Amino acid sequence: MTVTVYGLDCGSTRKTKQWLEKIGVPFVERNILKEPLTVSELQGILRMTLDGTEGIVATRSKAYKDLDLDIDELSLQELMELIQQHPRLLRSPIIVDEKRLQAGYQEDEIRQFLPRKTRKTQWLNWSMNHLPLMES
């Protein structure tokens, strides 16, 4: 499983990379300012998101506000071309593997990128320390 971190040089991207390194999850990083996503890559990301463009566009970003956008007025093709020209419109980081996508750093959700065996081991360790013991 290859995890890819698409991001800007920001705190959330740094936290994501540190977390993945600490846990030992291999990843590939791509700075979207230096190498913007292609339309095809954006389409692939959009196929994975549950919230469509709202899940990946940073509507509170300075770039979004400066462009004075109304996403609903743009066609999907126009939006993808705009994102290529202004990569800061994307939330950062966007973390993907073959099956999952997460936009932004959220510590409780990033665990989905742990290998299943690791998640199971962590759950067992946590439950042994936090769940009450059953009395016979």
Assess contact for 128 and 49: CB atoms under 8 A. no
How far apart, in Å, are the Cα atoms of 87 and each of 13, 32, 129?
A: 14, 6, 44
Give me the catalytic one of 1, 2, 9, 10: 10
Question: What residues does 30 pair with on adjacent strands?
Answer: 6
The reply to whether 98 belongs to the active site is: no
Angle made by CA atoms 93, 104, 118, in degrees to the nearest 5: 90
Give catalytic residues, as residue numbers. Answer: 10
